[in-house]
């Protein structure tokens, strides 16, 4: 049976180019047979709902409001929505201030009890309880990072970029671009508080700028996309103690490419056989094969994303289709993934979306 999905697209509403301007969160229905996105609607009037996260039950969606000031307060906000599982529509529930400028990532713990958000410009992160109706309660934890890195322009201070749970739902990992470190905390699942872990985190080579990360399904390896030096790093995982040891770092760019580029998103596919990383500048998806014994990567090549600045991409839950969100060309381009070879092939479907930043899938009932 071919599965259909609702697809939610987060966008920037405060960027303009050639008159194109986003209005909020766009909702589509993906027909798995046709590989085509059909517009369902949009939640308009939202301020830069750039990054999105679904609740494990599929009943709620959360969005950052990625701004420096929100309703007169310094910092952005996190907005909560209820999902109509029949139509895919979103109903606003409430929002909480993020206590930091430019919240750029949001995630939910595996039990659906706590929401985690990171503030890029604020260099900090925050935890909220998820109430029984899906709305957000008052914060239970707040951590502020301090420090800098060798890149004077981009690493002048801490920049918490992504925040998520490890597969055991015990550790919180924050990829801090400014510190060249994935900082590790222990989450109290009863109180929603954060405590520094010992060891405190995973260090990246100076100037790397860690941005996003993903765990292998076997929980033995972690892969980190490094924005500033266009690399991907492999770590061995000890998820009993929250320890991560660097195994390998590879470039995401073809040999000889010397133009400006920054890495963005990272995803594994088909049980961890294939890894993909998006390049902004080269405007491609770098493909890697994952060794099933060591976790190490072998570079396979690059697939153009069919647009400019692929800030985000995602695979549907069946791993048959990949949607690449090209922020600066206002498009989402659809690819089909060959499970046997890891090859990406364009389907011919291109969907117009202003300033797409994040793509998430929800199985349609």
pTM above 0.85, yes or no: yes
pLDDT band for position 255 (50/70/90)?
very high
Give the pLDDT mean for 178-182. Answer: 98
How confident is the model over 194-225, as pLDDT tens digits?
999 999 999 999 999 999 999 999 999 999 99
Please name the residue that has the structure tokens 């589509």. 28
Give the pLDDT score at 220.
98
Cis before 315? omega within 30: no
Enter the DSSP assignment of 329. G
Structure tokens that stand for 360 in this block: 């998430």
Give the pLDDT mean for 308-336. Answer: 97
Structure tokens that stand for 254 in this block: 């073809």
> Is the torsion defined by CA of 157, 204, 175, 202 positive or negative?
negative
Give the pLDDT mean for 148-161. Answer: 98
Give the pLDDT score at 18.
54
């Amino acid at each position: 049976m071919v599965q259909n999905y609702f697809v939610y697209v987060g966008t920037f509403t405060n960027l303009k180019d050639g008159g194109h301007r986003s209005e909020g969160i766009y909702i589509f229905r993906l027909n798995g047979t046709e590989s085509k996105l059909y517009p369902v609607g949009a939640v308009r009037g939202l301020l830069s709902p750039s990054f999105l996260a679904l609740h494990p039950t599929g009943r709620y969606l959360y969005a950052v409001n990625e701004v420096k000031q929100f309703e007169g307060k310094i910092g952005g906000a996190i907005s909560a929505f209820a999902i109509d599982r029949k139509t895919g529509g979103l109903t606003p529930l409430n929002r909480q201030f993020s206590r930091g400028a430019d919240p750029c990532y949001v995630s939910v713990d595996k039990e659906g009890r706590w929401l985690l958000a990171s503030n890029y410009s604020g260099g900090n992160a925050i935890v909220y309880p998820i109430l029984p109706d899906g709305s957000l309660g008052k914060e239970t934890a707040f951590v502020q990072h301090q420090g800098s890195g060798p890149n004077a322009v981009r690493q002048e201070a801490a920049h918490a970029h992504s925040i998520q749970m490890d597969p055991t739902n015990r550790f919180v990992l924050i990829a801090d671009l400014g510190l060249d470190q994935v900082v590790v905390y222990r989450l109290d699942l009863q109180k929603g508080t954060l405590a520094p872990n010992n060891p405190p985190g995973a260090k990246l080579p100076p100037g790397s700028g860690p941005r996003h990360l993903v765990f292998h399904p076997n929980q033995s390896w972690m892969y980190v996309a490094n924005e500033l030096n266009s690399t991907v790093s492999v770590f061995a995982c000890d998820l009993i103690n929250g320890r991560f040891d660097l195994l390998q770092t590879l470039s995401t760019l073809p040999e000889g490419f010397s133009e400006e580029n920054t890495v963005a998103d990272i995803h594994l596919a088909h049980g961890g056989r294939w890894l993909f990383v998006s390049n902004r500048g080269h405007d491609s998806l770098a493909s890697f094969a994952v060794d099933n014994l060591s976790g190490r990567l072998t570079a396979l090549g690059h697939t153009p994303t069919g647009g400019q600045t692929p800030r985000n991409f995602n695979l549907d839950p069946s791993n048959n289709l990949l949607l690449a969100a090209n922020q600066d060309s206002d498009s989402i381009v659809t690819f089909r993934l060959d499970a046997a070879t890891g090859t990406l092939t364009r389907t011919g479907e291109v969907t117009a979306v202003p300033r797409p930043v994040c793509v998430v899938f929800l199985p349609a009932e």
